[in-house]
Chains A and B, each alone.
Chain A
Amino acid sequence: MNIDEAPLIVMDWLWKFPQLSDETLLAFKKSVDGSFRAFIRAYGDGIEAFFTPLNKTLVFFEGLITGTPWPIIVLAIGAFAWFASRRWSVVAAAVGTLLAIGFIGLWTDAMKTVSLVFAATIFSVGIGIPIGILMSRFSRFSAVVQTTLDVAQTMPPFVYLIPVVMLLGIGRVPGFIAVVIYAVPPIIRLTDLGIRLVDREVLEAADAYGCSRWQKLWKVQLPLSLPTIMAGVNQTIMMALAMVVIAAMIGVQGLGLNVLQAIANQYFTLGIFNGFAIVGIAIIFDRISQAYGRRLQKHRGEAHV
């Protein structure tokens, strides 16, 4: 060995990170990708069949909303706003925004977006609240779910979309799954938080009067955490709306797809119109759900305690 070369050889690891060899890495990636493809070939049809009912539900939902005459939809959302908020200002804002969206020619696209967001929200709330309740009861389960939610919230959506698209292709179902993964964390976290925040003395009173676990949950914990849970529902809706553009990349129709086209073709006005339509829908749902949450709070006179 030459004397001049020796220090270089010795110090090599300092300048170049001691990584796995390129061949090993390549082999690893190939084998994982290969076995995933094999998995899809073997079970892909079964998995697709599993999701068929979901797809049918989504198609039905979309058909229902886009197929209903527009005045009925406007009336229905107006009535919904009234029952949730009991304030005419909220109703007027909701109806006004809807009419404006229709006026600029985006009615059908907006309804497609609304139908997806609505379905994703219902599904998220449906699985999120029970998970939140379980988390508040079992702290080990809570630790696992917390970590999962941290991953779900920070992982770029495209990454978890790769296997979903490989499995199910592009279309409504992968879009729906992507939206749910993105939108479900707030409702889970806030249900858990709401239940944990219930006054300790009130819980003690419930125990002292002989509540069973179910009675305590239904009569004390859930009613008292409802305002926090409603904040979670509100956040879930907002997250679902924020996802519609990304969902459009995997074949979900609606306002998001228009935004994508506007970006690709540099149609400034089309982008602005659709962007504002999304914002408008977001504001409608936000104000309605917040007003409902506030009405729940007023009932309890939170300010006095």
Chain B
Amino acid sequence: MSEGESIEIRELFKIFGRSSAKYIDAIKDGLSKPELQRLHGQVLALNNISISMPAGKIQVIMGLSGSGKSTLIRHINRLVEPTSGSIVIDGLDILRMREQELRQFRRNRTAMVFQKFALLPHRTVIENVTFGLELRGIKWAKAREIGMSWIERVGLHGFHARYPHELSGGMQQRVGLARALSNDASILLMDEAYSALDPLIRTDMQTMLLELQSELKKTIVFITHDLDEALRLGDRIVILRDGSIVQQGDSQDIVLRPADDYIARFVKDVNRGRVIKVDAVMQPAPQKPDGSLPRIQSGATLETAAKALTNSTFDRAIITDRGSRPIGAITLRLITASLSSNPEVPLEAAPASVGAGA
């Protein structure tokens, strides 16, 4: 199994249009996107993007349509050429690659899952799943063995001889995922992979991806326009708007400290109980913790903590790390206050007031 590799994107610009390179300096000097389009007929798709994606994590890139997220993900395997900037994968500058090298890179180190599945309609499920292996010149018997095991893993047992059109959307995307995983690439690029699926199936597929990832530890770049999906899957999240980065961070940063009104509007409707972790809102642990208090492990969500407290006779609990050492405390009042997204009640203030009463 190839585990993930890190991806470093530095000062990436992409302008769509003829001889776009000469407008880079103007953009760097502050020419705006609408002006560029009006004066020169060029479209600024990505504006000064720098992201460092750690190895073996799920990096979510979120944005609405037209934000440049699909263009960005296509730079990682160079389906789109940047106008300027650098992309370094595990120390290797992929923009320097010649055609042949790039092909080998795509065959061996990246795999991609597409929004509309992009399966080959004239091939059966197993022939689709082994497509990448076939391009790498792996013998059919071996490829079939690998392909069948992944078909099994994504829950398509018994469907290997069917054609894509005989399957539902969710099943087709399982084929897409199996095709990507068969390649055993270290980087998995998922371009709105679940956006075309029904909500329930989408949740199933997210669960499956998280389960697989806990074992595979690939670097996954996941594009979505759905904030719930981003918060659920993303170890790290980048939010794009009009080709620029608005905010980067983990799910806690995005929900608790939205960078601007645009993100705050998104975050408003999020189920905070399922996203915010106790670590983000807990108070300092008391000097001599009461041994009878319930204990909640670090990393639990507020929802879990609230359930644990409601089922006990206490209104406060001790937060412990993995080694069961107390690292903080939480109360039901604190949880309730944190669930409110009202910006007038800053979360930093909440622990203090509750702490005084305790």
B333 lies within 8 A of chain A by Cβ: no
Partner of B77, one of A208, A211, A220, A299: A208
A304 and B106 in contact, given A204-B118, A208-B77 (Cβ under 8 angstroms): no
The answer, yes or no, to whether A199 is at the interface (CB within 8 Å) is yes
Tell me the minimal C-beta distance from B80 to chain A in angstroms.
Answer: 10
B108-116, B142-150, B291-299, B317-325: which one contacts chain A? B108-116
**Chain A minimum-CB-distance residue to B183:** A209
Across the interface, A300 reaches (CB within 8 A) one of B104, B112, B122, B134, namely B122
Query: Nearest Cβ distance between residue B190 and chain A, in whole angstroms?
Result: 12
Contact with A along B66-109 (1 / 0, CB 8 A): 00000000000101000000000000000000000001111110
Closest Cβ neighbor of A296 among chain B residues: B122
A215 to B111, CA, bound (A): 17
Total count of chain A residues near the partner, CB < 8 A: 22
A301 to B121, CA, bound (A): 8
User: Considering the complex, which residues of chain A in the window 215-237 have a beta carbon less than 8 Å from any beta carbon of chain B?
Assistant: 215, 219-220, 223-224, 226
Contact yes or no, B111 A209, CB < 8 A: yes
Q: Which residues of B contact A304 (CB under 8 A)?
A: 165
**Which residue of the partner chain B has the closest CB to A303?**
B165
Interface residues in B, total, Cβ within 8 A: 30
Contact pick for A224, options B110, B121, B189, CB 8 Å: B121
Is the beta-carbon distance between A201 and B114 smaller than 8 angstroms? yes
Dominant secondary structure of chain B at its interface with chain A: mixed
Q: Is the CB of B112 within 8 A of A205?
A: yes
Chain A residues near B63: list those with CB within 8 A: none
Shortest CB distance B111–A (Å)? 7
A207 interface residue (CB < 8 Å to B): yes
> How far is B165's CA from A211's CA once the two chains are assembled, in angstroms?
23
Evaluate contact between A215 and B122: CB separation under 8 angstroms: no
- Given A204-B79, A209-B131, A212-B103, CB of A301 within 8 Å of CB of B118: no
CA distance A185 to B131 in the complex (A): 34
Are B114 and A204 touching (Cβ within 8 A)?
yes
B118 touches A210 (CB 8 A): no
- What's the minimum C-beta distance from B169 to chain A, rounded to whole angstroms? 11
Q: Is B328 an interface residue (CB 8 A)?
A: no
A202 CB within 8 Å of chain B: yes
Most buried by A among B103, B122, B132, B183: B122
A199-B118, A205-B112, A205-B118 given as contacts; is B104 within 8 A of A210 (CB)?
yes
Residues of B within 8 A of A204 (CB): 79, 114, 118
Measured between beta carbons, the chain B residues less than 8 angstroms from A207 are: 79, 106
Q: Is B211 an interface residue (CB 8 A)?
A: no
The interface of chain A, by Cβ under 8 A from chain B, is 199, 201-202, 204-205, 207-212, 215, 219-220, 223-224, 226, 299-301, 304-305
A sample of 18 cross-chain residue pairs with beta-carbon separation below 8 angstroms, ordered by A number, consists of A201-B114, A201-B115, A202-B120, A204-B114, A205-B118, A205-B119, A207-B106, A209-B132, A210-B135, A212-B103, A215-B135, A219-B120, A219-B131, A223-B122, A224-B121, A224-B122, A300-B165, A301-B165
